[in-house]
Structure 1
Amino acid sequence: MTAWVGRRGPSRRPRPRGVWVASGTGIVLVLVVALGAYLPLVGFLGGVTATTAGLVPFPVVRITLVTLLGVVVVVALLLLALTRRHTATSVVAVVVAVLVSLAVTAYPVVTIAVASADRAGDVWPVVTELWQRFTG
């Protein structure tokens, strides 16, 4: 093993360029997912909930908790990628960070779809009963 001599001391080698490239790419991709997909999607789903007078539920607490947990995990993975000395480790951390950000982006859609299906199951018997009262 070659001893690297520099400002950091004799035993530390510099980070490869691949670590910087992977980390920068990961940060850009996570920001694109967050600003280009997550925020517009959550805004749209919140607007749908507001315009349907609550027929489409928006579980604010669950979505907020998953978002905060996702932010913590993604930031930790990006910091891990940035501080590694091997490109392969950095790339793996970046890929996992991007996948976590995509999962956090998909979570509100899945949650609202499941809650809407539950709500629709609750609404249909009421609509049927009202229709029966109206027609007979």
Structure 2
Amino acid sequence: MTTLRGFRRGRGGMPRPRPRGVWVASGIGIVLLLAITLGAFFPLVGFLGGVTATTAGLVPFPFVRVTLVALLGAVVVLALVVLALTRRHTATSVVAVVFAVLVALAVTIYPVVTVAISSADRAGDVWPIVTDLWQRFTG
């Protein structure tokens, strides 16, 4: 009996199949990540880029920073999804999926925060220009 147990647990045996919960958690995570990416991130970045274009740069869009954060976030999310898919325990897979969704949400919120901060800085720069133009116009 001991020999048979040792044989089953040795390297020559078949690997233990992944529990159904790992596949379910990973599938739900992938669907949520696609929904966040296609339903929130891309439309939001497109909207902010359009606002920047229509205001002639008054509302700045930090393209390089947003691109770098998006690429870094994509690498982290991809690593977490691969981690979730390769685990043998459902709880570990669920934790990896939750972290992947949180990172995706943070990457989605980043452009809004960056544009808001840049716009607030730019608005502080615009007010003196507007008052100077008003003074020139009124004499």
Q: Calculate the TM-score normalised by the size of structure 2.
A: 0.90
Relative to total residues, which structure has the larger helix share, 1 or 2?
2
Residue identity over aligned pairs, in percent, reads 78
Query: Residue 46 of structure 1 aligns to a residue in which SS?
Result: helix
Match of 1:82 in 2: 85
| C-alpha contact (below 8 Å) 1:81/1:89 kept by paired residues | yes
Q: Deviation digits for residues 24-76 of structure 1, max 9, x if unmatched?
A: 00000000000000001111111111111110101100000000000000000
Unmatched 5+ residue regions in structure 2? none
Residues 57-68 of structure 1 correspond to what in structure 2 (within 5 A)? 57-68=60-71
TM-score under structure 1 normalisation?
Answer: 0.92
Instruction: Work out which of the residue numbers 111, 115, 120 in structure 2 matches 1:117.
Output: 120
**1:49 lines up with 2:52 in the alignment:** yes
Larger radius of gyration: 2
Contact map agreement 1:49 1:56 (CA 8 A) in 2: yes
RMSD across aligned C-alpha pairs, in angstroms?
1.8
**Alignment size in residue pairs:** 133
How far residue 129 of structure 1 moved from its aligned partner, in angstroms, is 1.4
Q: Is the 8 A contact 1:70 1:101 kept in 2?
A: yes
